[in-house]
Structures are given as C-alpha cells and as structure tokens.
Amino acid sequence: MAPVLAASGLTKRYGRTLALRGVDLHLEAGELVGLLGPNGAGKSTLTKIACGLVRHDGGTIEVARPLGYLAELFRFPDWCTAEELLTLHQELTRSAGGAAERAELLELVGLADATRVRVGAMSKGMQQRLGIAQALVGGPRVLLLDEPTSALDPAGRRTVRALLEELRRREVAVLLNSHLLSEVELVCDRVVIVARGEVVAAGTPAELEQPSGVEVETAGGVRVIPNAGRQDVPAIVRDLVAAGEEVYGVQVRRSTLEDAYLEAVGAA
C-alpha cells in the first residue's frame, strides 16, 4: 500500500539555524504515528512542511489530499459560531457533507450543544475540540495534529483518544505531535523521536521499550538481575531453586517510553 505521507531527506534552514537535517518519515493509511521531541527539535516545522505552510529547502515530501491540520498555536475568528466555522471549511474543502457532517463532527468532539456558540465565548478547551472538528471537515486521508490536547482536561483527552481510535478504524492516517508521552504510548502504532532536526529513534512503543533486567521476589526479598531478559527467566528460577531459595514471583522489567525518549534525545 502506498504511504499517504512520504518525506525523504527533508531539510529546512531558518537563517543560520538548520531546523531539519534530512528527515525521513512515512505514514500508511490508518496508521497513528506519534511525533516526539524536545522544544525546538523541528516537529512543528516538519508538520508545517507537510501542510504546505513552510517551504522545505531540500528533500521531497508527498502528502495525500485532503488533509486536516490543527496547529499548536491556532485561533479562529471570535465572532463566528462553531456552525459558521465548519461551514466555511466545508466550502473550502468542497465537502458535500452539509449539516449532517457538521452535526457529526461536533458530536464526535463533544460539542453537540455548542453549534450556535461564538468562538469568542468558548473556553480554550472547547476551542481546541472545535479545532479538531475543523481539521476533520471533508473527510481527510491524513490528519496532522500539533499538540491537540494541550488545553484539554483529562475527560477531554479521553474524548480525543477515543476519536483517534475511531479515525484509525476509518483508515485515516494521523501524525500526532505531542509532549504527552503517556498519551502517545496509549494510542500510537509507531513513534518517531526527533531531536535537533533529525530522527533519532523510531519504532513501535514496544520496540522502543527495551528489557532492563529481571525482577525476582524470594523469601529474602526482591532482587534485580540486570542485563537479563525474558529468555533468561527459566535459568534464573532454576538456579535459585537449586540454591534452596523459594521463588514467589518473577517479572521481566522493561524501560518505559519515557526512558527510551530521554535516552534518544540525550544521545542526539
């Protein structure tokens, strides 16, 4: 299957600062990819290049259309209502969804009762949810979300997670740019970690979370055998039993996504 977003060797320079240094990235239909990295790593630049808002200096990028985008720092005209904003974007995307599409999108983001509420009268969280609804107008094949849950409370974040699961079911590819590692770990199929303008790690959350020893609970307490993995467990248990120990529990320890992230970013 052809990727819906394919970037190869992307470079971008702002004056003397090299923001991207040959980034490769691809997304398949229905894939949810988390884009992680410290501030200034180049994540937003990469997302904006994918949207066509920023020109790249080198490399190639192809993105399937239609696409949806929610910027980290976005704003909608405060005088218009949720209904009017979505209508504008329907016209710009030539969506034939009409009132049914608008109602469905507002329902999806939990704003079904806010159809006639002006943007200026909405809380930041409501505006962010409206922003997600706006990005979904016209049934995008690719959705680029830059910190989409930064202003949301835990309930709002859960709504967005459920929405992302629904989008995966609908074969929409999502690039999720977020600082919230736990959120990325929960929903993303793959994670790409960017630091100083280059990809420093990539893979599924499971691939990035490496084994970090085996924890054994015996009568003498809990002991950790470092550098051991799942394959070492039978031998460890056998040796302990042979030595007269009573084993109550064994657990293979894995590093978290946060550990993998910090290691990748620190090594950049």
Partner 1 sequence: MSPVGTIARFALRESLRRRVFTVVFILTVAFLGLYGLGVWQAFEATDEFAFETGPVEPEVVAGATLLGLACFGTLFLGAILAVFLTLGAVRGDAERGLLQPVLVRDVSRWSYLLARWAAAASVCALYVIVVFLAATVITWVAGGWWPDRVVQPALGLALGVALLAALSLAGSVVLSSAANGIAVFMAFGAGLTAGLLGQIGEALGSGTLDTVADVASWALPFEALYQSGLSALTADTIGFTRFAIDLGPFGGAEPGGALLWPWALVYLAAVGAAARWAFGRRDL
| Interacting residues toward partner 1 by CB under 8 A | 14, 48, 51-55, 65-71, 73-77, 79-80, 88-89, 91-94, 131, 134
Q: Is the link from the previous residue into 140 a cis peptide, with omega within 30 of 0?
A: no
Round to whole Å and give the CA distance between 42 and 51.
14
Q: Give the chain's largest Cα–Cα span.
A: 76
Adjacent-strand bridge partners of 85: none
Round to whole Å and give the CA distance between 266 and 268.
5
Determine contact, residues 137/95, Cβ cutoff 8 Å: yes
79 or 169: whose CB is closer to partner 1? 79
Round to whole Å and give the CA distance between 143 and 25.
15
Q: Least distance from C-beta 84 to partner 1, angstroms?
A: 8
57 or 246: whose CB is closer to partner 1? 57
Please give the single-letter amino acid code of residue 76. Answer: F
Q: Least distance from C-beta 99 to partner 1, angstroms?
A: 17
Determine contact, residues 183/157, Cβ cutoff 8 Å: yes
Round to whole Å and give the CA distance between 254 and 260.
10
Q: Least distance from C-beta 19 to partner 1, angstroms?
A: 10
Q: Least distance from C-beta 222 to partner 1, angstroms?
A: 51
Could you give the count of Cα atoms lying within 13 Å of 132 in the half-sphere of its Cβ? 33
56 or 157: whose CB is closer to partner 1? 56
Round to whole Å and give the CA distance between 195 and 260.
13
Adjacent-strand bridge partners of 20: 12
30 or 66: whose CB is closer to partner 1? 66
Q: Least distance from C-beta 51 to partner 1, angstroms?
A: 5
Determine contact, residues 168/28, Cβ cutoff 8 Å: no
54 or 250: whose CB is closer to partner 1? 54
Q: What SS3 class is residue 190?
A: strand
Round to whole Å and give the CA distance between 136 and 143.
8
76 or 261: whose CB is closer to partner 1? 76
56 or 168: whose CB is closer to partner 1? 56
57 or 171: whose CB is closer to partner 1? 57
Q: Least distance from C-beta 137 to partner 1, angstroms?
A: 9
Q: Least distance from C-beta 256 to partner 1, angstroms?
A: 33
Q: Least distance from C-beta 23 to partner 1, angstroms?
A: 16
| Residue in 156, 17, 5, 130 with CA at minimum distance from that of residue 67 | 5
